[in-house]
Amino acid sequence: MNLTLVVWRQSGPNETGAFKTYQAKDVLPEMSFLEMLDFVNEDLIKAGDEPIQFDSDCREGICGSCGIVINGQAHGPLQGVATCQLYMRHFHDGDVISMEPWRAKAFPVVHDLVVNRSAFDRIIQSGGYTSAKTGKHAEANAILVPKEDQEAAMDNAACIGCGACVAACPNASASLFTAAKITHLAMLPQGQVERARRVKRMVERMDLEGFGNCSNIGECRAACPKEISIEAIAKMRSEYLRALGSTEAKED
Amino acid sequence: MSPLRQAMRSTVGKKVLMAITGLALTLFVIVHLAGNLQLFLKDGSKFNAYAHSLESLGGLLYVAEAGLLFFILAHAVNGILIKGSHWAARGDVRYSRYQTKGAPSRQNLSTQSMIVSGLTILGFLVVHISHFKFGPGVAEGYVTQIQGAEVRDLHRLVVETFRQPGWALGYMGVMVLLGLHLRHGFWSAFQSLGAMSPRLSPVISVIGVVLAVLLALGFLGIPAWILVDPMGVYR
Ligand code: HEM
Ligand code: FES
């Protein structure tokens, strides 16, 4: 199939970008979206042009590197998949496909479709960890965790930190990311020690990075490749209110 | 910084304030409509007596009014601040194309128009209060008798106002916006308070829609009823 690609090109963080149009010829339906871009880039390189830059690593939906706003939707038209898991069979011959980077003040564009997501790293550094002892790991059943708690923790641990929640949110809010991390650890025994401090510090950091507030729209959930529920955001708020009364957070 | 002040500066705290003030205003609006349903009665004396009994609350009324004013202002100022932070957060370059992915996203006209519906309600309140609360009263000849005493004939003012199509249609339009505001707002408030679970969410969502529709229809019904006057009592 033949496609028209309208792609955001920006040669550096401080350069002004613009859309450029490319023709993609003989694209196969079994190509992934990123393979299609590789294919187009080969032609660009042969012609002596700058290839379109985009992020990717695992190409199987587990690393969180990839992410393009395709036709106005983060990770494209499907739900529950990252850009690398989107296949060209979901498009038709003659389609015009627009591609933009994640747009958020806290995610500055590095080049073309590549953005700097280190704001997420700083949110994790502020509290998204448990201070566990290193050394020989404990016997698996030494600490029992109720099944529902395991499930809830696991659902939220599925977050790959791709940033689609921020990209899709009309407010560019990082609430789903931050809430997933907070909920994941709050559900487990290992997360109890720093529980109050964690939510306070992570929310503080999230605000400091310049993300927007959450209006409970749930666009993040629809864009999340791991389909993490916005129930996590309600949990983040109740955890925050709970922390207000705790001495652990007060002494922090 | 005290923990409470710090909390109020956080995004989470701002939403909690939004939710508490929003729900308090919702409660007020329900009570307000319940009282105003008496406007559907042919005989205005019931409504006038009700309005007069509120006026006679004295000090208690001032406390209630001050409380309402505080809730409205806190809600409105906070809402405008939150909206401002959204604009800044998107950054300098906006999407050239943006499309919702659909359910389970709740994005709809209601979520997209929160600031527009809110600001319209704020503007409406200025007109509404200056017209009905501080507008023409006993001195201007809007007088009626209740148990021998001379009191304000608010019923006549309401009827005269809504017999004018401009006023009636304007009020009806704003009430549609109030319904839209609450259609998202009611569910959203519980999510903001962290009082949500997979079992509760659809229930609150349905209550929110029903409440929004009933409140909008109830409030919009009053000017519509008086304007159309199907029983021919106001002609
Ligand atoms: C006075 C003018 C008003 C303005 C400017 C305003 C503005 C707003 C805005 C912008 C939001 C969304 C906040 C967000 O994006 O997170 C909101 C939420 C809400 N509003 Fe209003 N509003 C007003 C009046 C009202 C009234 C009269 C009611 C009740 C009858 C109400 C009930 C609510 C509720 C329940 C919410 C949801 C709170 C939440 O999301 O946590 N608002 N308002
Ligand atoms: S490249 Fe790893 S998730 Fe897409």
Spell out which residues line ligand 1, taking CB within 6 angstroms: A 213, 215-216; B 15, 18-19, 22-23, 25-26, 29, 72, 75-76, 79, 82-83, 114-115, 118-119, 121-122, 181-182, 185-186, 188-189, 192
Residues A42, A107, single domain; the answer is yes
Nearest to B142 by CA among B131, B152, B133, B132: B152
Digit-coded pLDDT (tens) for A191-224:
998 999 999 999 999 999 999 999 999 999 999 9
H or E element, residue B16: helix B11-36
Identify the CA nearest to A193 among candidates A148, A248, A145: A248
pLDDT greater at residue B172 or residue A143: B172
Average pLDDT for A124-134: 88
Quick one: pLDDT at residue A181?
98
Indicate the pLDDT class of residue B43, thresholds 50, 70 and 90: confident
Of the pLDDT bands very low, low, confident and very high (cuts 50, 70, 90), residue B1 is: low
Does ligand 2 lie within 6 Å of residue A63's CB atom? yes
How does pLDDT run across B131-148, given as a tens digit for each residue? 999 999 998 989 999 888
Residue of A nearest to B12 (CA): A237
A50-80: pLDDT as tens digits: 999 999 999 999 999 999 999 999 999 999 9
Asked if A145 and A212 sit in the same domain, the reply is: yes
- Using the beta-carbon criterion (under 8 Å), do B90 and A214 form an inter-chain contact? no
Residue to mutate, A38, A57, A113, A114, ligand 2, most ligand atoms under 8 Å from C-beta: A57
Q: Find where tokens 């509760």 sit.
A: B200
Residue B83 CA, ligand 1 centroid: distance in Å: 11
Is A217–B194 a contact, with Cβ atoms under 8 angstroms apart? no
Whether residues A75 and A193 fall in one domain: no
Distance CA B38, CA B45 (A): 10
ipTM: 0.92
Q: Which domain holds residue A217?
A: 118-251
Residue A125 shares a structural domain with residue A238: yes
Looking at A159-163, B170-174, B192-196, which range is the least confident one? Answer: B192-196
Does residue A65 sit in the same domain as residue A144?
A: no
Q: Which of B152, B180, B172 is nearest to B225 (CA)?
A: B172
CA–CA separation, B37 and B61 (whole Å): 20
Which of helix, strand or coil describes residue A124?
helix
CA of A33 to the centre of ligand 2 (A): 11
Are residues A134 and A223 both part of a single domain?
yes
A69 → closest Cβ in B15, B95, B195: B95
Contacts of B18 (CB under 8 A, 6+ apart): B75, B78, B79, B82, B189, B192
As a dihedral over the C-alpha atoms of residue A70, residue A73, residue A76, residue A80, rounded to 10 degrees, the angle is 160
DSSP string, B143-163: EEEETTEEEE-HHHHHHHHHT
Asked if the bond preceding B104 is cis, omega within 30° of 0, the reply is yes
The model's confidence at residue A178, banded by pLDDT at 50, 70 and 90, is very high
> B97 and A222: CB-CB below 8 Å?
no
pLDDT digits (tens, 9 = 90+) for B67-126: 999 999 999 999 999 999 898 999 999 999 999 999 999 999 999 999 999 999 999 999
Query: Looking at A89, A111, A133, which one is the last position of a domain?
Result: A111
> Which residue's alpha carbon is at the smallest distance from atom 31 of ligand 1?
B22
Nearest to A199 by CA among A120, A105, A128, A145: A128
**CATH number of the B3-88+111-228 domain:** 1.20.1300
Which residue owns the Cα nearest ligand 1 atom 19?
A: B185
Q: Are residues A162 and A240 both part of a single domain?
A: yes
Domains of chain B, residue spans: 3-88+111-228
CATH number of the domain encompassing residue A190: 1.10.1060.10
Count Cβ atoms below 10 Å from residue A25 Cβ, excluding itself.
11
Domain boundary among A111, A140, A170: A111
User: Does residue A154 share a domain with residue A34?
Assistant: no
CA of A123 relative to ligand 2 center, distance in Å: 21
Same-domain pairing of A49 and A141: no
Which of B90, B93, B99 lies at the smallest CB-CB distance from A73? B99
Q: Are residues A146 and A239 in the same domain?
A: yes
Mean pLDDT of A89-108: 97
Q: A188 and A68 in one domain? A: no
CATH number at residue A107: 3.10.20.30
Together in a domain, A35 and A125? no
Looking at ligand 2, which residue's alpha carbon is closest to its atom 3?
A61
More confident residue, B234 or A46: A46
The total number of structural domains that make up chain A: 2
Provide the 3-class DSSP secondary structure of residue B41.
coil
